[in-house]
Amino acid sequence: MREAVDALPPLTVRLGRLVGTRVVEVATDAWLGARTRGLVRNEGALRRVSVGGDSEYYEAIRLTWWRRIMSTPTVVPRESTFVDLGAGRGRALLLAARRGFREVVGVELDEALAEEARANLRRWSSRRGTRGRAQTLRVVVGDAATFPPPRGPLLVFIANAFGVTTLHHVLTALCSTPRGDEAAFIAYFNPQREHVFADFPRLVVHARGDDWVVYRLVGAPGPGAPGS
């Protein structure tokens, strides 16, 4: 099979891959009952308004990528909150809702995308009827840099949504908020700014793959941290 693909002209291979990706993306949305696919080059506009000035554009997380990063055990979904920092049209939110997270929160700076994510979640809620009554789903229009991490067992998801400055704000907030013995994890897909984690010794690598890493929060905030 590999030899057969190698023998094709490069343009044909590229075209084949594009068509393949498109088919998978349409099928993913059909399965989710949502419209989340696509690429939105919104980073220029967002960089002008974001705290860190380092926003990345919208591209939906692919199902295979999601499955890779979520393959490692972290929190117990039915007892935990899932937060997607840079939620876009809400694909990861829908996938987390399907996994049964008690609370699913999207933070998205682009108002239009946040509205689309809300519409997608509304459709999901109406389809699931009363089965998921204990589940809360919400999308906040705002900057990840200023979003306070919720209490309780927590999984924060970041799919390369922003650069160093915003990531620094996010990790500072997580590490300086007292959490008692509540578990907290960060799942970072396409971890281009992973070096920032080196400034946060309370965040230790829990699991790692080729294009993802999951960190676990350990210990307690040091003296001088808010609430300490």
Q: Which residues bind ligand SAM (CB under 6 A)?
A: 42, 46, 50, 55-56, 58-61, 84, 86-88, 91-92, 107-110, 113, 143-145, 159-162, 166
Tell me the closest approach of the beta carbon of residue 140 to ligand SAM, in angstroms: 9
CB closest to ligand SAM, residue no: 86
Q: Report the distance separating Cα 37 and Cα 91, nearest Å.
A: 8
Cβ–Cβ < 8 Å for 78, 56: no
Pairing label, strands 81-85, 154-159: parallel
Nearer to ligand SAM, 59 or 79 (CB): 59
Nearer to ligand SAM, 98 or 182 (CB): 98
Can you list the pairs that 130-133 forms with residues at least 24 positions away whose Cβ atoms lie under 8 Å? 132/97, 132/100
Tell me the closest approach of the beta carbon of residue 217 to ligand SAM, in angstroms: 20
Tell me the closest approach of the beta carbon of residue 58 to ligand SAM, in angstroms: 4
Give the DSSP per-residue string, 96-114.
Answer: HHHHT-SEEEEEES-HHHH
Pairing label, strands 154-159, 136-141: unpaired
Nearer to ligand SAM, 40 or 220 (CB): 40
Nearer to ligand SAM, 92 or 121 (CB): 92
Tell me the closest approach of the beta carbon of residue 8 to ligand SAM, in angstroms: 30
Tell me the closest approach of the beta carbon of residue 147 to ligand SAM, in angstroms: 8
Tell me the closest approach of the beta carbon of residue 152 to ligand SAM, in angstroms: 21
Q: Report the distance separating Cα 122 and Cα 127, nearest Å.
A: 9
Q: Report the distance separating Cα 151 and Cα 178, nearest Å.
A: 9
* Closest by CA position to 109, among listed 40, 185, 189, 211: 40
Cβ–Cβ < 8 Å for 122, 97: no
Nearer to ligand SAM, 61 or 156 (CB): 61
Nearer to ligand SAM, 192 or 228 (CB): 192
